């Protein structure tokens, strides 16, 4: 069931091929159609999913870390929110996850921490108990209070927490972007299916490189408006 479908040598090619397929379902929408202040969500990049010693290890997750870091740096340049999540359950709030998985991530522990490779970037962290990062977390209020209109969803796993959060963001009125080269899951079949499904009605797929270029344009336009209005 698990495979290393992304590595540092093939991620550009494989994500590009997936993007070309997913774009067939977007109705020709472009990044320019997703205006407003964006926020970056980095879901569950914890040792529970990134360490080979964990039963929940995602083999392709290592390949997306440099791209997530690039996005974090781009968001820092435009002074827009970057929010990390940690998935942690209690016996009480695990609910159906306990029944489905039998061994959810219960309580604090070494595997529950953000990976060392990303921990220095995780200055704003919310704890979530379910796939959906909006469920009982206060994330929606935080985004609204920051005047966020668009969310970019990265992290793991593409078909579980990333997809569920993307759909939840959509029904709450946010524009949603999910980069196929900054999300990962157990195998390419699941990753591909989730990316294509989201592209048909929920989220725009875009590569990290294109996103960063778009964010730089957004930053320049924002500076121009601030200068024009004397802010």
> 85: pLDDT confidence band, cut at 50, 70 and 90?
very high
> 224: pLDDT confidence band, cut at 50, 70 and 90?
very low
List of domains in the chain:
11-27+34-199 (3.40.50.850)
Residue 118's pLDDT is 98
Mean pLDDT of 198-224: 87
More confident residue, 85 or 231: 85
pLDDT in tens, 175-197: 999 999 999 999 999 999 999 99
Read off the pTM: 0.94
pLDDT in tens, 44-54: 999 999 999 99
Strands 37-43, 183-184: pairing is unpaired
pLDDT in tens, 132-176: 999 999 999 999 999 999 999 999 999 999 999 999 999 999 999
Mean pLDDT (the chain) is 93
CB of 43 within 8 A of CB of 156?
A: yes
Mean pLDDT of 58-67: 98
Whether 227 shows a pLDDT value over 70: the answer reads no
Give me the torsion for CA of 103, 107, 109, 113, rounded to 10°: 100
**Best CA proximity match to 105, nearest among 42, 162, 187, 46:** 46
Cα distances (Å, whole numbers) of residue 34 to 12, 31, 40, 204, 206 = 23, 5, 14, 9, 12
> 8: pLDDT confidence band, cut at 50, 70 and 90?
very high
């Amino acid at each position: 069931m698990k495979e290393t479908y992304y590595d540092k040598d093939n991620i550009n090619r494989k994500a590009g091929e997936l993007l070309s397929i997913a774009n067939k379902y977007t109705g020709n929408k472009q990044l320019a159609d997703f205006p407003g202040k964006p926020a970056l969500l980095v879901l569950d990049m914890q040792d529970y999913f990134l360490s080979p010693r964990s039963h929940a290890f995602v083999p392709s997750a290592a390949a997306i870390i440099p791209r997530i870091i690039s996005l974090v740096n781009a968001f820092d340049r435009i002074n827009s929110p970057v929010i990390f999540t940690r998935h942690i359950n209690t016996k009480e709030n695990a609910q159906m996850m306990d029944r489905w998985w039998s061994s959810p991530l219960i309580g604090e522990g070494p595997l529950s921490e953000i990976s060392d490779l990303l921990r220095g970037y995780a200055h704003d962290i919310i704890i979530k108990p379910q796939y959906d990062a909006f469920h009982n977390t206060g994330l929606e209020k935080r985004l609204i209070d920051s005047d966020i209109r668009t969310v970019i969803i990265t992290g793991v796993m593409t078909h579980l927490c990333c997809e569920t959060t993307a759909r939840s963001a959509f029904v709450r009125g946010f524009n949603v972007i999910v980069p196929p080269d900054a999300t990962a899951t157990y195998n390419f079949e699941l990753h591909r299916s989730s990316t294509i499904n989201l592209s048909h009605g929920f989220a725009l797929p875009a590569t990290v490189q294109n996103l960063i270029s778009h964010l730089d344009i957004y930053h320049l336009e924002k500076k121009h408006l601030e200068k024009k209005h004397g802010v």
